[in-house]
Amino acid sequence: MHKEELGDTHVRRDRERFEQRLGTIIDGRYRLDRLLGWGKTSAVYEATHRNGFRAALKILHASLRTNADACERLLYEASLANVVTHPAIVRVLDDGITEDGCLYLVLEHLDGQTLESFCARFGGYIDLEVLAPIADVLMSALTAIHECAIVHRSLEPRNVFLTSDGEVKFLGFCTAKSLHAGGPPTVRGTLHETPAFMSPEAARGAREEMGSWTDIWSLGAILFTALSGEHVHIASTESELSTASTGRARSLAAVMPDLDTEIIHVIDRALAFEKDARWPNVRMMHTAFTQAVAAARTRSARWHTLVSRAPVEIVPVEMTPVDTASIDQLKVPIMMTDPPPQTHRRKGHPSRRAQVLAVAAAVAAVIAATVTGRAMRASETRSASAAPPRERAALQAPPSAMPRTPSRR
């Protein structure tokens, strides 16, 4: 199922509802300037304190204001930042109650976008080289979280934030659970905003079966989707996806057959159906991922060296008239510099090697056309000097007076 189709119908309505708070002053101190985003429990606003300090206010949805569990969880999220000391955990500075009785947190304000929006900017997926440093921080942060005996339980691309300074942050800890006694109450209902990133045990609603392995599955799903642009499970409706989520994940190789097998193995193992078949902990997954990325880089560097050293064969061009219409149909692909280069083929897309060969063939055809065109012009000039005066004037007319050849895309 394509990600954009999920829940899109509600987005505009929710946005309008949350934007109604804009311009209001919270607790006589914070002016709400902009809606930054929202999740299952809260809406987050960019706010300015009366002393000019810029912060993010995370306000519990009005529908949950009398829900004691939801309030307790939000306060638990606030305390987490002091339990787990890792740069990927957002600092929580304060808390309070809005005039209409909703609990809110004051968070450090982050400039940037969620991993979901970031991938969307590049057509839904990003290259391994771009994902690798993000995954590196996620795994080191998740190791720190698990070592504090906390499980996040709703990891997904919307809960990963990439700042404009290049930092990676985890959001949405209000569904987190402490494995120590005395943690916050168990959340009722679905923990994730979409079933696409739910482990089979989470999709079944088996809370007692959830643990660090549940986060490992979701992390695998985040990496799967970021690299391939597809969800782990194939489904065309939300309810189909909910059902599929309780089943086995497909291999990343089914979507990206050319991706390095070590990378596929790391992600596939995180997505194993049985929890005992997954990585025993994030630290081990992290080590395996780092090694797999290093191996992929070595392989790709070797391939690039081979390509750049390949001898160029110069083929003599036959001087025959060229059909300009067929040249105009020739589309030389233009590489955009903004999206990072995609080095691994997704199913149904040409491989990188095939793309390089296509570009080389196109360039050779353009050179052939140019050489032939020059030869033709030379022979036209020769016949022009032999032509009678009127014909000679027509043939020697300036280029602007000649019919234009449509430009090539």
| CA–CA separation, 157 and 161 (whole Å) | 8
157 touches ligand ADP (CB under 6 A): no
Cα-Cα end-to-end distance for the chain: 33
For residues 396 and 384, is the Cβ–Cβ distance under 8 A?
yes
56 binds, among Mg ion, ligand ADP, none (CB under 5 to 8 A by kind): ligand ADP
| CA–CA separation, 273 and 246 (whole Å) | 9
- Closest contact distance (angstroms) between CB of 174 and Mg ion is 8
Query: How far is C-alpha 292 from the geometric centre of its chain's CA atoms?
Result: 20
199 touches Mg ion (CB under 5 A): no
Contacting residue, 59, 92, 110, 198, with ligand ADP by CB under 6 A: 110
278 binds, among ligand ADP, Mg ion, none (CB under 5 to 8 A by kind): none
202 touches ligand ADP (CB under 6 A): no
Phi first, then psi: what are they for 103, rounded to 5°?
-70, 145
Q: What tokens appear for 321 in the block?
A: 């008239």
CB within 8 A of 128, min separation 6: which ones?
Answer: 227, 259, 263, 293, 296, 343, 344
- Closest contact distance (angstroms) between CB of 348 and Mg ion is 31
Stretch binding ligand ADP (CB under 6 A), from 106-114, 196-204, 205-213, 324-332: 106-114
Give the alpha-carbon dihedral of 342, 133, 196, 163, to 10 degrees.
Answer: -100
Nearer to ligand ADP, 71 or 327 (CB): 71
For ligand ADP, the nearest residue by Cβ is 39
39 touches Mg ion (CB under 5 A): yes
Task: Name all contacts of 183-190 with Cβ < 8 Å and 24+ positions apart.
Answer: 183/76, 184/69, 184/72, 184/73, 184/76, 185/69, 185/72, 185/73, 187/69, 187/73, 188/69, 190/40
- Closest contact distance (angstroms) between CB of 91 and ligand ADP is 9
44 touches ligand ADP (CB under 6 A): yes
Kindly write down the DSSP assignment for every residue of 178-203, as one continuous string.
Answer: ESSTT-PPPPPS-SSSSGGG--HHHH
42 binds, among Mg ion, ligand ADP, none (CB under 5 to 8 A by kind): ligand ADP
Site for Mg ion in 346-365 (CB under 5 A): none
The site for ligand ADP, by CB under 6 A, has a size of 22
Contacting residue, 26, 32, 36, 264, with ligand ADP by CB under 6 A: 36
Site for Mg ion in 143-182 (CB under 5 A): 159, 172
Q: What tokens appear for 206 in the block?
A: 């088996």
Beta-bridge partner residues of 107: 56, 92
Nearer to Mg ion, 159 or 228 (CB): 159
| CA–CA separation, 100 and 82 (whole Å) | 28
Nearer to ligand ADP, 32 or 128 (CB): 32
Nearer to ligand ADP, 78 or 249 (CB): 78
Contacting residue, 18, 70, 105, 172, with ligand ADP by CB under 6 A: 172
107 touches ligand ADP (CB under 6 A): yes
Contacting residue, 3, 64, 81, 114, with ligand ADP by CB under 6 A: 114
Helix (H, G, I), strand (E, B) or coil at 273: coil
Q: What tokens appear for 368 in the block?
A: 């052939």
**Residues in contact with ligand ADP by the rule CB under 6 A:** 36-42, 44, 56, 58, 90, 107-110, 114, 158-159, 161, 171-172, 174
> Interface residues with Mg ion (CB under 5 A)?
39, 159, 172
